[in-house]
Amino acid sequence: MPSTKQKLAPPPDQRQYVIQAGNTLYGTASAGGTNGDGTLFSVSAAGANFTVLRDFAYTSDGESPRPTLIVSGNTLYGTAPLGGSFGYGPAYRVRTDGTGFTNLHNFSSPTDGRYPYGGVVQSGNLLYGLAESGGTGSKGAVYELILPPVPTPVSLNVTPSGGMLTLSWPSTAGGYGLQQSAVLSPASWSTYAGTLTTNGATISGTITPAAARAFFRLVNTNGQ
């Protein structure tokens, strides 16, 4: 495993571009962001509502995410050619709202290749891609990944009553945390600091909004 961060020059034919789903564009920056390891972002086709969906971190996420994203439903798939558990890059998925980031595979070379520059293509529940080097003959590898099921998002219910709001979701949906933000673009999410109670089949919290508007979301704390 590489002992320190590396900087590899992109292949000469590697172009930077974005993909479009509906009225939203998705793309990556190979450096910068909070950790200096690159970002995943979205922006409307009109150039508004720019949002950083993910600040990559070398060991947990990978480094220098490639622009070769694909989108399937509300899920993005991509690769980062560096970082991850072994330093040789991961293939990952993340929801289009930035939640549920998961490394599907951490390349470990020589068994499965290293530096997955080429992105991925999808066929059913399979992803295919290329690793630039490593593998049995140290000349690179073509790989196939079987996709685990994408967890079904849990609905957050909002019930107004007398100037207060009750936020609730099913208690059977374990591993979810409530976050809040005063603005949506760009959002600044923080963990909800109020009291949550479990009453039978429901987890809920009651708040008195302190501003004219507030935003809330549920985040799977298990990384799904």
| pLDDT at residue 15 greater than cutoff 70 | no
* Of the candidates 138, 146, 160, 170, the residue with the CA atom closest to the CA atom of residue 214: 160
Give the pLDDT confidence score for residue 39 in this predicted structure.
96
Mean pLDDT of the 44-66 span: 94
Using alpha carbons, select from 77, 145, 81 the residue that is nearest to residue 116.
Answer: 81
Q: Which residues is 130 bridged to in the sheet?
A: 142
Q: Which of these ranges, 20-24, 115-119, 185-189, has the smallest mean pLDDT?
A: 185-189
pLDDT at 12: 47
Q: Measured between alpha carbons, how far is 204 from 67 in angstroms, rounded to an integer?
A: 40
Q: Does residue 97 surpass a pLDDT of 70?
A: yes
Question: Which class is 19-146 in CATH?
Answer: mainly beta
pLDDT at 120 over 70: yes
pLDDT of 36 strictly over 90: yes
Give dist(CA 91, CA 72) in Å, integer: 15
Say if pTM beats, i.e. exceeds, 0.85: no
List the domain boundaries for the chain: 19-146, 157-220
Per-residue pLDDT band at 184 (split at 50, 70, 90): confident
Lowest mean pLDDT among 27-36, 107-116, 214-223: 214-223
pLDDT at 223 over 80: no
What average pLDDT score do residues 41-68 get? 93
Phi, psi dihedrals of residue 46, rounded to the nearest 5°: -85, -5
Which burial class, exposed, middle or buried, applies to 19 when counting CB atoms under 10 A from its CB (0-12, 13-18, 19+)? Answer: middle
pLDDT tens per residue, range 129-171:
999 988 888 888 899 999 887 667 788 998 988 888 899 999 8
